[in-house]
Structure 1
Amino acid sequence: MGIKLHDYQTTIKSRVTLAGFGVHSGKPVSITFLPADPDTGVVFHHMDAFGDTREIRALVSEIGATDLCTALGDPAGHHVGTVEHVMAALFGLGIDNLVVEVDGDEMPILDGSAASFVEAIDQAGIETLDVKRRYIRVVKPVRIDSGASFAEFQPYDGTRFEIEIDFESPAIGRQSFAADIDPAVFRRDISRARTFGFMKDVERLWAAGHALGSSLENSVVIGDDSRVINMEGLRYKNEFVRHKMLDAMGDLALAGARFIGCYRSYRGGHRLNAAALRHLLSDRSAFEIVETNRRERGRSAELVAVNAAVYAPWVL
């Protein structure tokens, strides 16, 4: 199967706003997607409780925490948490440039998946810009191990994720899911997979000030009898591992550009995803920056290495 690439960068055509609650704070929050110029990348404009606004770039160098979600910025100051579902939607639909205005400290959880963000982008429309898109192409294997977990990048003619999870709970067990990513695959197979958790962990999380906005409307919950307690059941038979893939896509979108290669993980999470991405970008022999070159309209793309930064993603 040949690699599918888009030659030019994209943004959205018009502004669009969503509102909801933060899954950890339980507080109301609204966000607005705004079109952005070429080479802007994804930028969050965070407004704090005092009305002060700061810019936080969606880059791995800006990750401030990975405990229960991926948060960008200073955890003690301006920061935006739970960015992974938004970033997964942008990655999955191929949006390169966007400003996200947010009036709280985390993204709205909405239904716990990326589906509402996809709908918002569809409502706004996607615009193709006149500047070439650059990709991070993996040219040699890079692996990181953490106890029984591991994550690795491998050279691959496309953008592929291979995710495997292994939980003691019989409601989940060992699941794997693999896919070459394009907008159609993301919409159909990944975007609607919801975050999940265990009822036995709820009181502990509440006591620590987390998951205050979590409910059956935005999470798949596994009860003490190891059964899914949501009345509607699962959206996919293996929704758990598909959501882990969604999270991984959102975390790797913080590279600052789409990558060409295969990302594999076993028993991974936000912390491991971020560590693997940092490991890749810290080794300049492991990747190269490329863009497409089509000599004639309609012909297959040729990848050409370029000596240019892509929003400086490797400044760690």
Structure 2
Amino acid sequence: MREQELAEAADNELAQQELSWVNRSRFLQTLRELVSVRLAKFGLAVLGIAVIAAVFSPILALHDPIKINPRDSLQDPSAEYWLGADRLGRDQLARLIYGARVSLVIGGAGVGIAVVAGIVIGTISGWAGRWTDEILMRIMDALAAFPNIVFALVLVAITGGAMRNIILVIGLVFTPAVARLIRAQVLSVKERDYVIAAVALGASPVRIISSHLIPNSLAPVIVQASIAFGAAILLEASLSFLGVGVKPPTPTWGGMLRHAFEVVDQAPWLTFTPGITIFLVVLAFNFVGDALRDTLDPRLRGAR
């Protein structure tokens, strides 16, 4: 009896090792296919630069991004101020570098909240069905009926422009899209033979959901999250540009663009760097998202 238990334990450990190896191999294969896409290479390079700027901003920035120097107001690009100085004499490059940290943190945290909430809501809706599905999806439809920027403006006006509030607002704005996507996947996956067999064998709903439904529904959610990340950065920049985002003196790309437009006739170059940066980062997330979609969906691999 003791020998049988030891043999079963050894078999289980071996199975776990094989599963871990298979998952690692799949991840490496997906990464190789992703890097082989030309536009994905560009997107990953841009995002890599943005992440480096965010992580090492205290080292890379040559000046304090919030220190006011009235004598250097609207300085042209020079050896001291590589991208010039704004109307308060603050270094444009330093604010651009520190702005990457704000944008990536807000975008990443907001999308993270949306993904977690969307997976929970979508999975419950797709698995439970009936009136639970109807109630949850009608709530999601009601939230999705508003344009993102209008919905976000209303919520920020109610909650205030603190960074924590903006993260929660962005999470709420993008939750309906994730919830509807995961619900559609769950409705498809739960009709497959291995799920029906698990139900017939008496597996608990929690085990079925955690072992079968969610793992087999994540691929499109990963793609959606990567594209939503870029949209979240654009939404945060729009809120800051409209004056309801993260409050000064915290540097944000949208806030930089807003202040630059106030003096565009005197220093037009100040609009270029934040505008181009927002454009490139959002474009990079879209390129990576498209490449992930083609890589994770076998039906699209031949068409790539």
Higher strand share: 1
**TM-score class normalised by the smaller sequence:** under 0.3
TM-score (norm 2): 0.24
Higher helix share: 2
TM-score (norm 1): 0.24
